[in-house]
Each structure stands twice: as C-alpha cells, then as structure tokens.
Chain A
C-alpha cells in the first residue's frame, strides 16, 4: 500500500461546479496534511494546510480531515478554468523524524471546462 494515495484522474468538472479531490494515507499517527497545486511546467504551490479533524476553509478552498478514516480531501467551489492543474496531497508522517519530510501522493489532474 502506498503511503499517500490519490486518484490520478484526470478529473473534469464544468466551470462553476465543485471539484472534489481525495487522498488517503497509511500512517495513522500522521499529524500534518497539505494540499499543493502544480501547474504544468511549474513548481508546487501550497494552497492549504490542515492539522486537526474537521473542515478548514480559505476562500473557494475547503480542506477536510478525518483522522479516524485516514482521509483528507480538498473541495474547490465555483471552479474556474484557472484551477486546472495537478493537485498534490502531502502528509508529514512521524517516520520522517525531525527532518519533517513530506510524503507526496502522485497527484490528481483537474481540468475545469469552460
């Protein structure tokens, strides 16, 4: 089992719809969770971090964390064509030690259709 799993997609949604991106992780005691957006040919950009169970909202983005189910998701409301990118889920497992390395999923490619 991969440490961090994401559906690779591609996921296509119409403009204005809600895009839902999902991620599961294997290390039950992981504490820090992140979503990054990566446009083609560019480096990843941090868009959300979440540390406790529940929802965290920032503008059109909502991150949801359920530690019991080892599940983290990202909702994008009112999706825009400019949201078309690859979304990377990242987890900081305790196994990373003091270096706090992130373990990344393989990413979900999102396309928002005009």
Chain B
C-alpha cells in the first residue's frame, strides 16, 4: 500500500505554545489530505479537508484560527495547533487520498500532550 509519514510522532509542549505537525505522502501525489483527531477510546473525528493550493475546509466546531492547515504541495500538508491548551491533548492523524481509487492512507499519528 501507499505510505504516509507524519512528524513528529510524539510531542509535549507547554500551554500557550504552538506545535506544527507535518504529513507527507511518500510514494504518491495526494489530491486531498485530511486531518483527524482521536481521543482515547473514541472514534476518529474529521477536523478538516485540505487540498493543495487552496484553503482548507473545516468541520463544524473546529476553530480554523486555532488549527492552521497549509497544503503546500501534492505531497505535504501541515497542521499547526496554535496557543495549545491541555484540552488539545489528543492523537492527531493525517490521511492522504489516492486520486484514482479514493483510498485513504493514514499516517502513523502524532500524540500531542499539552502541559
């Protein structure tokens, strides 16, 4: 299957700081990338949809000024959590859609802990 990387895998930051998470499709060009959040023992929650060169589309209830998404190329999308607070602590996962098949491939995830 296709490979999606995500960096960092784990980050601990202090309340009020910003954290950037990178998502890369390594062996295919992704027409669309998605960002999800998952709290312990809960379902995946879609946060936003990102297309290369255009503004991200955010799901209802997700603050676009807090979760900044940049999709600079067909292989790279970044999520920046600005002014992080402890309630932002979660497992953030990106996925990349392969255009022809609509299959989504997930990155390994980033575990964010805000202290």
Q: Is the CB of B43 within 8 A of A44?
A: no
Q: Is the CB of B1 within 8 A of A43?
A: no
A32: CB under 8 A from chain B? Answer: yes
Please report which residues of chain B, range 84-99, place their CB below 8 angstroms from some CB of chain A when the two chains form the complex: 91, 93, 97
Q: Is the CB of B43 within 8 A of A49?
A: no
A99–B57 CA distance with the chains assembled, in angstroms: 10
Q: Is the interface of B mostly helix, strand, loop or mixed?
A: strand
Contacts of B102 in A (CB 8 A): 32, 92, 100
| Given A99-B32, A99-B49, A102-B104, A46-B109 contact (CB < 8 Å) | no
Q: Is the CB of B34 within 8 A of A101?
A: yes
Contacts of B63 in A (CB 8 A): none
Contacts of B51 in A (CB 8 A): 99
Q: How many residues of A contact B (CB 8 A)?
A: 19
B44: CB under 8 A from chain A? Answer: yes
B108: CB under 8 A from chain A? Answer: yes
Contacts of A107 in B (CB 8 A): 43
Q: Is the CB of A43 within 8 A of B97?
A: no
Q: Is the CB of A49 within 8 A of B109?
A: no
| Given A99-B49, A100-B97, A88-B105 contact (CB < 8 Å) | no
Using a CB–CB cutoff of 8 Å, the interface residues on chain A facing chain B are 32, 34, 36, 42-46, 49, 88, 90, 92, 99-102, 104, 106-107
